[in-house]
Amino acid sequence: MDEFDLFVIGGGSGGVRAARMAAQRGARVALAESGALGGTCVNLGCIPKKLYSYAAHYGEAFEESHGFGWRGAAPTFDWATLKRNRAIEIMRLNGVYEKLLVGAGVQLLRGRAHLADAHTVQVGGERHRAANILVATGGAPHRPDFAGQELAVTSNEMFDLDPFPQRLLVIGGGYIACEFATIFAGLGGRVTQLYRGAQVLRGFDDDVRAFVAAEMVKKGVDLRLSAGVASLQRASDGLRAQLHDGSALAVDAVLAAIGRWPNAAGIGLEDVGVQLNEHGAIVVDEAFRTSVPHICAIGDVIDRVQLTPVALAEAMALVDRLFGSGTRKMDYENIPTAVFTHPNIGTVGLTEAQARGRHGKVRIFRSDFRPLKHTLSGSTERTLMKLVVDEATDRVLGVHMVGAEAGEIVQGFAVALKAGATKAVFDATVGIHPTAAEEFVTMREPVA
């Protein structure tokens, strides 16, 4: 059998990063992957989703250009062209990931891996010994539980639907559901979104949730809260969704975006004694060690924070412990994130509710305005910006935005929060004019 210092199961963002960095430090590394390299992010998540988000923006951009003097025939959208070009780009990225691994000296094994024991991994008919094993198998979409659920698709299938769904039903209220709802509405579909809760995007700041929901409706999404699907069946004109309130919807496709589950089954984890929690996630300590010595896990499969940059950071911390100084630690505080709804959401730090719960008295600064671009575009889209500040220390605890390029703007403010910036520091910073971002350093009066 081959002998390795590290054997990585899973070729997603976290697994590839760990394998590369370990190999570059002189470790003998193998990585097993049965699918396309890059994992969910590259193939079925972040990258294709944002490409489709860009595509959806063009529909309204052409309309908005009239206010700036542009004239011409309205363009038409070709779904097949978008799908083809996306597939070409994803294939290119798959190749980049393979070159990075091979170039670093990682032995790439194609096939599904299975743990034979705490130090042995079987891929196909071959067994491989390793001093350390890393499980980085990611997550998978959770399927709904109602009659006819097999007729619904998950986010995995959304990028290659054929034909384009003129009538799309989205089930769910998380970021994936909201993103696809606004993307397909922007591409020209008639979108209905059902969510069983009182407001979408649970876990985000309440002002952000209410604001983006209103903007989504303005973009054409038929958002129905406290609603859900009782059953789904085929009909002569597509699919028929029976709703909990007794009404029915005729649609062409149904997206079930009701969450993601750790992808930990079927690789022999429990057979060798690796502990899973009640949700099927691998239980790890602060150093990403499982209940079995020398078996580690990172990324979505441990279900801490399901974000690609988090998996990358976890990989770096793990490799440093195994093959470096061991001083690098993973910090889950003030992790910025973006939601590519239309308009975008960018957020870092605590929500208002979280801040009040942890710190007691807080000051809230909030601004809701029409961006300069839309004074001529004719669009009614508005932007929301919000700061959450600790009353006692003046430290900025949360930065939240809904608006164009929110992720690009909030990334910079995430550095400020990580550095412990106070509201006084924000106030002393000169803004860049005219930009939306300057609003974060010009808000002076707290709201009631």
Q: Which helix (H) or strand (E) holds 207?
A: helix 206-218
Q: What does 366-383 look like in DSSP terms, one character per residue?
A: EEEE--TTHHHH-----E
374 classed as catalytic: no
- CA 135 – CA 296 distance, rounded (Å): 6
Beta bridge partners of 346: 338, 401
- CA 312 – CA 67 distance, rounded (Å): 43
| Omega before 48 within 30 of 0, i.e. cis | no
Angle between helices 46-64 and 175-186 (to 10 degrees): 40
CB proximity list for 419: less than 8 A, separation 6 or greater: none
Closest CA to 243 of 257, 259, 255, 226: 226
Q: Which of 66, 142, 374, 433 is catalytic?
A: 433
Four-residue CA torsion sign, 268, 272, 278, 283: negative
- CA 82 – CA 188 distance, rounded (Å): 14
- CA 331 – CA 437 distance, rounded (Å): 26
What's the start-to-end Cα distance of the chain, in Å? 68
Angle at the Cα of 100 from the Cα atoms of 99 and 104, rounded to 5 degrees = 110
Assess contact for 421 and 397: CB atoms under 8 A. no
- CA 85 – CA 314 distance, rounded (Å): 32
Task: Supply 85's token pair.
Answer: 């070009």
Beta bridge partners of 121: 115, 128
Angle between helices 79-104 and 13-24 (to 10 degrees): 30
- CA 76 – CA 188 distance, rounded (Å): 10
Print burial letters for 282-311: b (CB count within 10 Å at least 16), e (below 16).
bebeeebbbebeebbbbbbbbbbbbbbebb
- CA 175 – CA 138 distance, rounded (Å): 18
CB proximity list for 430: less than 8 A, separation 6 or greater: 441
Only one residue has tokens 């988000």, namely: 53
- CA 288 – CA 285 distance, rounded (Å): 5
Active site positions, annotated? 433
